[in-house]
Amino acid sequence: MPKWRARTLNSSRMDRSAEFKKWKAQCLSKADLSRKGSVDEDVIELVQLLNAREQFFTTSSCAGRILLLDGGINGLGVQKQNCCWLLVTHIPCVKDDMMVALKKANGDAVFKFEPFVLHVQCRQLQDAQMLAVRSTHGLEVPLSHKGKLMVTEEYIEFLLNIANQKMEENKKRIERFYNCLQLALERETITYSHTKIKEKNNPFCTHKKKRNPEKLRGKCIPEENDKEPENDDDSDPGINVAIFPKDY
Amino acid sequence: MPKWRARTLNSSRMDRSAEFKKWKAQCLSKADLSRKGSVDEDVIELVQLLNAREQFFTTSSCAGRILLLDGGINGLGVQKQNCCWLLVTHIPCVKDDMMVALKKANGDAVFKFEPFVLHVQCRQLQDAQMLAVRSTHGLEVPLSHKGKLMVTEEYIEFLLNIANQKMEENKKRIERFYNCLQLALERETITYSHTKIKEKNNPFCTHKKKRNPEKLRGKCIPEENDKEPENDDDSDPGINVAIFPKDY
């Protein structure tokens, strides 16, 4: 390789590194533009852990929440543009609060439980082994139509019971994920080298379990056997890790 | 760069390419181990389009479906290990079929609408600009507890109406995604070079809309304003693209 080529490569690498540093500083110094205006308590430590590393910074996060949205009446789910937030809570919800919120609905109200989600910017594609994190134990339940409640109070109580349990489980998963991440960062298994992180050495444990290795290599398999089990196995934080390139 | 080093790099690149080719042939020749045993009709063309390219192959797909699962009674959702499939359909579902299926439930039955999902293996990380595709307009509705139906027949009809409409919308999204993908492949904007696909030139249009560019760069923003709108804008197939590295 001619010398000028090596110089160009090195300097371009440095440029990118400096650019990322600047971009990170810019992003982290800006005001939090979310409705809430601050990071959810249950993920503060996790967000800090990531932002303390020079190769990462977080751009959005939610610890998990129960939502009641009043949407359009097209039956096609809630469109953000036309929807109204009747209730949002990051802690367990009691029936009376939900009933009060439901009385305000005049469109098609939808109850949601949204688990923990985290978006992370990475300096290099290789770092993106952990760029976005999304858990998979949500709920989305249409409750009313044109303002009329379609279920009983007993059902609301039943549903809240499930959602509140999912919230507890979600909290455990955040903790497990934090512990796995900390371990990985400590051991420096996540580097910005081009080294491939081998699955067996990867404390994230966030891949789907290979109960059926044949299946994973199989041909165009519909997802019927491909659901994440929701268990308490400590070796599996029960969270999917996905990578979104910067341009998406 | 010494000559032997260049040779090593080239030969390692060729090895990887040959390895991928072999792996792809192996996977595509194996039996489909899913319950259904074949690719869903609505995604056959899409799967073929991808498998025709040497740098990709699909490992699993589902066109979208309505499901009724009978799970454990722990309220924490359906665990794959302990659950029973009471009904699954890839076409719109009528109330009578659902009521018959519900009568068989003796645990906590959960109704689901799962939209289109596709997993793709890529030869190189750079190709993975489109490695996994997942739509975001699902439903997850607990319906019965310990075999007792917690909602009315009227609610089931209301819910099926919504699910069937989502299925229609889902079909449109698959078509839009197919068209975008075809265009991208024709234009060869997806290459296995290291060229970054610029967002403005990217016909996938699968990124979240940047209505608020400030927000995207903002600090640790909870997802409250971050929901995918479910609209019919033809420039947006309404499908998220995520990348899962091979090891996850």
Top pLDDT among B113 and A220 is at B113
Exposure class string for A166-204: b at 16+ Cβ within 10 A, else e: bbebbeebbebbbebbeebbeeebbebeeeebeeeebbb
- Residue A133: pLDDT band (50, 70, 90) is low
| Percent of the residues in chain B that have a pLDDT greater than 90, as a whole number | 33
Identify the weakest region by mean pLDDT among A2-11, A160-169, B50-59. A2-11
Cβ–Cβ of A137/B165 closer than 8 Å? no
Q: Which residues contact A163 (CB under 8 A, 6 or more apart)?
A: A66, A93, A111, A113, A139
Radius of gyration, CA atoms only, chain A: 22
List the 68-127 stretch of A: residues with Cβ below 8 A of B: 74-81, 88, 114, 117, 125-126
Look up the ipTM and state it: 0.70
CA distance A86 to A83: 9
- Residue A119: pLDDT band (50, 70, 90) is confident
Cβ burial of A146 (10 Å; 0-12, 13-18, 19+) is exposed
Identify the weakest region by mean pLDDT among A166-170, A221-225, B80-84, B105-109. A221-225
Which residue in the set A79, A117, A145 is minimally distant from B223, CB to CB? A117
Least Cα distance to A247 among B10, B140, B191, B128 occurs for: B128
Cβ–Cβ of A34/B225 closer than 8 Å? yes
List the 225-244 stretch of A: residues with Cβ below 8 A of B: 225-231, 240-244
B70 torsion bin: left (phi>0), alpha (psi -120 to 50), beta (else): beta
Exposure class string for B25-55: b at 16+ Cβ within 10 A, else e: eebeeeebbbeeeebbebbeebbebbbeeeb
Q: Which amino acid is at A122?
A: C
CA distance A244 to A148: 40
Q: Which residues contact B137 (CB under 8 A, 6 or more apart)?
A: A76, A77, B113, B115, B166, B169, B170, B228, B230, B238
Measure A23 CA to nearest chain B CA, in Å: 9
Domain boundaries, chain B: 33-207+232-242
Residue A216, CA distances (Å) to A135, A219, B44 in order = 21, 9, 19
CA distance B180 to A206: 30
Which tokens go with A67?
A: 């939502």
Q: Which of A49, A220, A232 to substitute to test the interface with B, most B CBs within 10 Å?
A: A220
A152 torsion bin: left (phi>0), alpha (psi -120 to 50), beta (else): beta
CA distance A221 to A231: 24
CB proximity A32 to B under 8 Å: yes
DSSP state of B187: T
CATH code: domain A44-208+229-242 is 3.30.1960.10
Looking at the DSSP bridge assignments, the partners of residue A132 are A119, A242
Q: Find out whether B243 and A243 touch, Cβ atoms under 8 Å.
A: yes
Which residue in the set A61, A76, A217 is minimally distant from B169, CB to CB? A76
Which residue in the set A28, A81, A150 is minimally distant from B229, CB to CB? A81
CA distance A94 to A109: 18
Top pLDDT among A9 and B203 is at A9
B33-207+232-242 CATH pick, 2.40.30.10, 3.40.960.10, 3.40.50.300, 3.30.1960.10 = 3.30.1960.10
Least Cα distance to A122 among A72, A56, A206 occurs for: A56
pLDDT in tens, A56-67: 899 888 999 999
Strands (E), B4-158: 56-71, 84-89, 108-122, 132-135, 139-142, 144-145, 148-149
Q: Count Cβ atoms below 10 Å from residue B101 Cβ, excluding itself.
A: 19
Q: Which residues of B touch A23 (CB under 8 A)?
A: 217
- Residue B134: pLDDT band (50, 70, 90) is low
How far from chain centre, in Å, is Cα B230? 16
Q: Find out whether A60 and B224 touch, Cβ atoms under 8 Å.
A: no
pLDDT in tens, B201-246: 333 323 333 333 333 222 322 333 333 333 333 333 444 444 433 3
A172 pLDDT exceeds 80? yes
Which tokens go with B90?
A: 């890839």
B94 pLDDT exceeds 80? yes
- Residue A73: pLDDT band (50, 70, 90) is low
Q: Count Cβ atoms below 10 Å from residue B229 Cβ, excluding itself.
A: 17
Q: Which pLDDT does position A67 carry in this prediction?
A: 94
A149 pLDDT exceeds 50? yes
Cβ–Cβ of B229/A79 closer than 8 Å? yes
Cβ–Cβ of B224/A199 closer than 8 Å? no
Q: Which amino acid is at A10?
A: N
DSSP letters for B193-234: SS----GGG-TT--SPP-S-HHHHTSSSB-GGG-PPP----T
Q: Which residues of A touch B198 (CB under 8 A)?
A: 247
Exposure class string for A111-143: b at 16+ Cβ within 10 A, else e: bbbbbbbbbbbbbebbbbbbbbbbbebbbbbbb
Which residue in the set B79, B161, B217 is minimally distant from A26, CB to CB? B217
Cβ burial of B19 (10 Å; 0-12, 13-18, 19+) is exposed
Distance, first Cα to last Cα, chain A: 34
Q: Which pLDDT does position A128 carry in this prediction?
A: 64
- Residue A16: pLDDT band (50, 70, 90) is confident
